[in-house]
Structures are given as C-alpha cells and as structure tokens.
C-alpha cells in the first residue's frame, strides 16, 4: 500500500496541537497573535522555555534557535552573567523613580565602544529611539522633511513607516522611488514628509538629495544588516553627500550593533551625527537608545535651562534593563564577535554551496551574525530585488525546518546566531536545509 504524502503544513498541524490550542485561546483577547511579528500560517508556535541556543515549545519539541528573538538574544537565553545581574538588581528594586547610577555605567559603556557617541539617552524600544532622534534633527535644523531608504525599517511611527514594504506596482521608478504609506491610520500628510532613496545607487542618492536638500532635516540610514548587502563605499558616499549639503545623518544600528564592538559604523568607517540602538542593548528586556554629538544631545539636558526639547518616559533607563544590557555588552568581547561572525561566514558559505550543488535558485547573505535566506536569483542590491523573492517557498522551507528541529525567522530573513552556538549547530542547519529542500521540492 502506497504511503500517503501529507503537506508540510498538515504535518506541522499534527505535531503542534497545543500551539494551535494556545493560539485559538488567545485570538479573542489579543486580536490574533500577541503581536504581528509572531504570526505565520497556519498559527505560530507557542514556546514554553529556553536555555542557551535551544527553545522548547508547548508540545515538547526542541529547536536550535536561529531566530534569536528578532536578533536580540546575542548571548543566548538565560546567560548566567545576565541572570546574575538581573537577580542582583531585582533585590535592589525594579523601578525606583530616580537615577540609580547603573544607567550612567551603561551609557559610559556604550560611549566607550562607539566613537561617535558623546552622549546617549535610553528609551523603551527602537521605535522610540528613532522618534526622538528625528525630533532632535527636525528641531535643530528647523526643517520638517526627512529622507529614508526604500525598504528601510525604523519602527512604527508615522514619520518613518513609509516605503518599508511598498508594493512594486506603487513604488515608482527605481531611481526616484515614490513615498508609500506603510500602515492604515497614518496621518494623510506623513508620506509627503518623506523623500525615499534607493539603496546602493550613489548617483541617484546624490541627485535626489541635491534636489530636496533645502527642505530636509536629515537622512535616516538603515543599513539593512544581514538583510541586504549594503556596500561600505555606498555608506561612505551617503555620509559625504549629507555632509556636502549640511544635513544630519541618523544611522540606525538597532540590528547592526551586533556586527562588532563599534557597530556597523566602525566597520563602514562613517561618523553619523546621531545613532539609534535597540535589541542587544537591553539584554533581552525592552530597550531603545539614541545618542551622538554633544551639541545635539545637550538640547535634551534640562540642567542647562529651557531648550524646547524633552525626552522622558516612566520606564526609560529602567534599572532592570540597564543591568541586563550592561552585563550583555561586557560579554561581547572581540573574541566573542570573532566567534559569532566566523560561524556566520561558515553558515552562509555552507548554504550557498548547498544551493549551487542542488541547482536551487537561492542565496544566503549575512552581516556579522545576522543572516537571511532568499529564494531568488540575481544580485541583491535594492529592496526591489528582495521583493522578488519566492515567499511561499520560504514559508514551506521554514515549516520543514521546524520538523528538523531548527527555528528560524518564519520569512527566513533577519535570522541570527547566538554565542553558545558551535560549529555542530552550523553543520546541523546546513544538513537540515538539504532535507527540508528534499521535503519541499519532492
């Protein structure tokens, strides 16, 4: 009797009944998943616990974690030094309503690592970081329009949620992209306040900025770390173009700070005026940070008298977050970065060798220890190249990898390694990818 072949989705349903039950229980009270990024079809996994680079779901299945909570858990889950720091701070107090000193230690650590940071302020998310950095830029320049790159993501507020994932039939010319609102309910004026630039095209960026420089407060640059190969010389060109026109450059290191001690700006050799941080800076807790030139950041200093600027928030610089973040950064030594980035080199090389050997139109790319896998042929230079990728194929492979015991981002983009990983985990994922391709391609 011929064995019946079931789809990878049906197989997923059979293996994860408790995750299905948890999702259905939550839908009436959380509007689907607890947050949009968790969701994939037919329903997301519900996790029970984690340690090191391993996850376990509510059905008892274990996974090597290559999703890494959107790249935040660079030391892995429940790292001893982070847990020790959090427990010590817990004994002192969770939120004391006054400075505790640990926020100063954390700021000093960051300023010591990133050459362009004279001052730094802490907030609760990357979204808040970009919001406050933009306010500084607009107030300082007394201009309202900003420029950002097509496909660049800087959080979920009206000023930046423009042309993040624009449909290609609305995106306009490659060399002069249209400004496309990215979410329902945005201000009708939001898109008009944003000039959209193409990645990896120095000539187009120079022309567009020269045409609009008199109205621009700043250029916000997301290097798409691990999601798009942005050439260092392009980043340096953007810096020079902004400098030529007297525009502030805000660099988004929310993902890229994973690349090395000084972040991607050190790797690229650029000196932004302001930089936004998040993710690994909180050691697993909610966090955002922004900082840069003293003359800009000092506009937020109330001890200098009224300036018209402000930044605060009940949980900004929360001591629990500061403790976890400081413990995390102190573990990120040069040898730790060498280990992580070396594993990423090995992983992408192994995956690309596999794709070539099997004749699969796919490619793996990485920046530091963040990597993405795209089922697409041709060069990856712009958002539009990424938009051509076969998302249905990515989803099928993602589900097939779950059965193999590997948990990646469900889009297979912005996946990430963690410090506890070893060569065996890298070899394991490459071997699992081959089995997943066998399963999906037949």
- Write out the catalytic residue numbers: 153, 252, 279
- Cβ burial of 403 (10 Å; 0-12, 13-18, 19+) is middle
If we measure between CA atoms, which residue out of 364, 437, 425, 397 comes closest to residue 64?
425
What backbone phi and psi angles, to 5 degrees, belong to 412?
65, 10
From residue 192, give the alpha-carbon distance in Å to each of 100, 144, 180, 388.
43, 10, 9, 26
Longest CA pairwise span in the chain (Å) = 84
Order of strands across the sheet with 119-123?
119-123, 288-292, 274-278, 248-252, 216-221, 145-149, 194-197
- With H, G, I as helix, E, B as strand and everything else as coil, classify residue 251: strand
The four Cα atoms 252, 257, 260, 264 give a dihedral, to 10 degrees, of -10
If we measure between CA atoms, which residue out of 218, 253, 262 comes closest to residue 238?
218
Q: Which two tokens stand for residue 340?
A: 């992580």
CB 152 within 8 A of CB 195: no
Instruction: Please state the three-class secondary structure of 192-244 as a single string.
Output: HHEEEECCCCHHHHHHHHHHHHHHEEEEEECCCCCCCCCCHHHHHHHHHHHHH
CA quadruple 423, 428, 431, 434: dihedral sign: negative
Q: Which two tokens stand for residue 205?
A: 């960026």
Exposure b/e, 169-202, CB count within 10 A at least 16 = b: eebbeeeebebbbbeeeeeeebbebbbbbbbbbb
């Amino acid at each position: 009797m011929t064995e019946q072949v079931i789809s990878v989705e049906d197989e997923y349903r059979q293996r994860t009944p408790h995750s299905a039950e948890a999702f259905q229980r939550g839908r009436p009270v959380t509007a689907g998943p607890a947050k949009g990024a968790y969701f994939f079809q037919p329903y997301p996994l519900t996790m029970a616990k984690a340690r090191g680079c391993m996850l376990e779901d509510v059905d008892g299945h274990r996974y090597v974690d290559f999703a890494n909570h959107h790249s935040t858990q660079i030391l892995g889950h429940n790292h001893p030094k982070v847990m020790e720091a959090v427990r010590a701070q817990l004994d002192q107090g969770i939120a004391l309503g006054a400075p505790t000193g640990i926020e100063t230690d954390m700021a000093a650590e960051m300023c010591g690592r990133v050459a362009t940071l004279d001052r730094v302020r802490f907030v609760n998310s990357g979204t808040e970081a970009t919001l406050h950095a933009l306010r500084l830029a607009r107030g300082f320049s007394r201009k309202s329009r900003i420029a950002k790159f097509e496909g660049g993501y800087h959080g979920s507020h009206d000023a930046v949620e423009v042309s993040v994932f624009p449909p290609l039939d609305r995106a306009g010319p490659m060399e002069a992209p249209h400004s496309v609102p990215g979410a329902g309910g945005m201000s009708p004026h939001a898109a008009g306040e944003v000039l959209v630039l193409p990645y990896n095209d120095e000539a187009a960026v120079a022309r567009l900025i020269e045409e609009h420089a008199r109205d621009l407060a700043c250029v916000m640059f997301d290097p798409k770390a691990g999601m798009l190969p942005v050439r260092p010389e392009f980043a340096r060109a953007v810096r020079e173009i902004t400098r030529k026109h007297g525009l502030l450059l805000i660099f988004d290191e929310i993902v890229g700070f994973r690349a090395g001690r000084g972040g991607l700006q050190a790797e690229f050799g650029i000196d932004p005026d302001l930089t936004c941080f998040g993710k690994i800076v909180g050691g697993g807790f909610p966090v955002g940070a922004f900082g840069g030139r003293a003359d800009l950041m000092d506009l937020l200093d109330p001890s200098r008298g009224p300036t018209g600027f402000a930044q605060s928030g009940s949980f900004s610089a929360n001591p629990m977050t500061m403790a976890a973040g400081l413990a995390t950064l102190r573990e990120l030594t040069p040898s730790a970065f060498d280990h992580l980035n070396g594993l990423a080199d090995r992983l992408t090389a192994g995956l690309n060798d596999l794709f070539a050997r099997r004749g699969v139109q796919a490619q793996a790319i990485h920046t530091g220890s963040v990597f993405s896998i795209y089922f697409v042929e041709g060069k990856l230079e712009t958002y539009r190249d990424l938009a051509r990728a076969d998302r249905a194929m990515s989803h099928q492979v993602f589900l097939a990898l779950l059965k193999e015991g590997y948990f990646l981002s469900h889009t297979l983009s912005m996946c990430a390694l963690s410090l506890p990983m070893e060569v065996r985990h890298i070899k394991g994922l490459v071997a699992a990818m081959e089995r997943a391709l066998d399963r999906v391609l037949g």
